[in-house]
Amino acid sequence: MITTLEPTDRATTSTPVRCECPSHLDGLTTTVPRQLVHRAAVAEVFLTGWCRLSEDRFHVRAQWPRGHSFFTPIAGSHYDPMLVAETVRQVGALLAHAAFDVPQGYQFLMWGLDYTAVADGLVIGGAPASLDLEVTCPDVRRRGKHLTGLRYEVVVRQSGRVIATGGAGYTCTSPAVYRRLRAEQLAQQPVPALPAAPVAPPLVGRLSPFDVVLSPTGRPDAWQLRYDTRHPVLFDHPGDHLPGMVLLEAARQAAVALSPERGVLPVAVDSSYHRYAEFGSPVLLGAERLGQKRDGSRLVRVTGTQDGETVFTAVVTTARPAVPLALWS
């Protein structure tokens, strides 16, 4: 059972954010505009407000739904920690457009995303989780007045308690430059990859085959990426390459598949992205166990390759939540 965060500079003992922004004083009234977090569906927007505390420090508000079509509760009692990952991702897009004046239409290439969650802090209560996010930006890259890259760190609090930390980094590119770099891919239509029957959903922590992104290869530690571009969450909008969240979900499912227990939480992920994952060519995934920590959590390294090149790597930490045995199936 995970009850405290790993030692990290992000999980400071500083007091929760106190500011005068409307989202803090008035509570939830709406989400931020969906375009600011690169989402087509309003239902997939988790951020509800923000304000600037200093040049490189921000207060962001968020809300997690108690039920979700894809980020389903784990063990019937805990928020899916991948909500932390998606929330952290949305923060980066929001700040780029709203705080650093990146125009709509610019392209973002994420080169890393990580999070660590407190399992006990993910227990679902009687109302949607209202969250305060303290965001700092230790690395802001500009060319002249234009943002070219950002690395940011996030501390997630609920009712003043730190329940997760995370961070990400990306570069952003103008539409003209991106067209020159990706002209061939932009001219193609996204295509699904459905090589074979998916792994059985319970083995990867899923309820529906539609949500499974792994296809068996005959080895217990290797799979082929399997995805349907009609998936309303993983493919919220069209693109010229596979979204990073698809790869992150594949890493989670691979780690769960190697777990000897069902219903485990992916309490931490540290991921790096090395190149675009393209449509039309198989993505192969391999996983290896890295051992067990003192608290009983397990670490798994997942590597994705395409055409012989490494696309991404991720180390996933899984832990069994403390829930009544009656909730386990």
Average pLDDT of span 243-268: 94
pLDDT at position 2 is 31
Confidence of residue 258 (pLDDT cuts 50, 70, 90): very high
Task: State how far the Cα of 96 lies from the Cα of 32, in Å rounded to an integer.
Answer: 13
Q: Do 245 and 270 fall within a single domain?
A: yes
Q: Do 182 and 230 share a domain, yes or no?
A: no
Q: Is there a single domain that holds both residue 149 and residue 192?
A: no
Final residue belonging to a domain, choices 186, 218, 233: 186
* Residue 76 sits in the same domain as residue 202: no
Q: Check whether residue 139 and residue 6 sit in a common domain.
A: yes
Provide the domain limits for residue 148.
1-186
Contact 29, 15 (CB under 8 A): no
Query: How far is Cα 165 from Cα 84, in angstroms, rounded to an integer?
Result: 8
The answer on pLDDT for 22 being more than 90 is no
Output the average pLDDT for the chain: 90
Residues forming a β-bridge with 269: 115, 316
Sheet holding 298-306, edge to edge: 47-54, 57-64, 129-143, 146-158, 161-173, 107-117, 265-273, 309-319, 298-306, 283-292, 222-225, 214-216
Q: Say whether both 72 and 95 belong to one domain.
A: yes
- Whether the predicted pLDDT of 3 surpasses 70: no
Q: Are residues 182 and 197 in the same domain?
A: no
Domain termination residue (choose one: 161, 186, 211): 186
- pLDDT tens digits, 214-230: 999 999 999 999 999 99
Q: Of 70, 46, 43, which Cα lies nearest the Cα of 129? A: 46
pLDDT exceeds 80 at position 328:
no
39-78 tens-digit pLDDT: 999 999 999 999 999 999 999 999 999 999 999 999 889 9
Can you give the pLDDT at residue 25? 46
- How much is the average pLDDT of 246-262? 95
User: Over the chain, what HEC string results?
Assistant: CCCCCCCCCCCCCCCCCCCCCHHHHHCCCCCCCHHHHCCCCHHHCCEEEEEEEECCEEEEEEEECCCCCCCCCECCCECCCHHHHHHHHHHHHHHHHHHCCCCCCCEEEEEEEEEEECHHHHECCCCCEEEEEEEEEEEEEEECCEEEEEEEEEEEEECCEEEEEEEEEEEEECHHHHHHHHHHHHCCCCCCECCCCCCCHHHHCCCCHHHCCEEECCCCCEEEECECCCCCCCCCCCCCCCCHHHHHHHHHHHHHHCCCCCCCEEEEEEEEECCCCCCCCCEEEEEEEEEECCCCCEEEEEEEEECCEEEEEEEEEEECCCCCHHHCC
User: Residue 326: its pLDDT value, please?
Assistant: 37
For residue 5, is pLDDT > 80? no
211 and 174 inside one domain = no
Same domain assignment for residues 318 and 256: yes
Percentage of residues in the chain with pLDDT exceeding 90?
Answer: 83
Q: Predicted confidence band at 15 (pLDDT cuts at 50, 70, 90)?
A: low
The answer to whether 46 touches 64, Cβ cutoff 8 Å, is yes
Chosen domain end from 164, 186, 208: 186
The rounded distance, in Å, linking the Cα atoms of 260 and 13 is 35
pLDDT digits (tens, 9 = 90+) for 95-144: 999 999 999 999 999 999 999 999 999 999 999 999 999 999 999 999 99
The structure's pTM equals 0.91
| Total number of domains constituting the chain | 2
Q: What is the pLDDT of residue 327?
A: 40
Please count the other Cβ atoms lying within 10 Å of the Cβ belonging to residue 207.
10
pLDDT tier at 325 (50, 70, 90 boundaries)? very low
pLDDT at 324 over 80: no
Q: Residue 17: what residue type?
A: V
Q: What is the rounded distance in angstroms from the CA atom of residue 188 to the CA atom of residue 29?
A: 40
Give the integer Cα–Cα distance in Å for 134 and 48.
Answer: 14
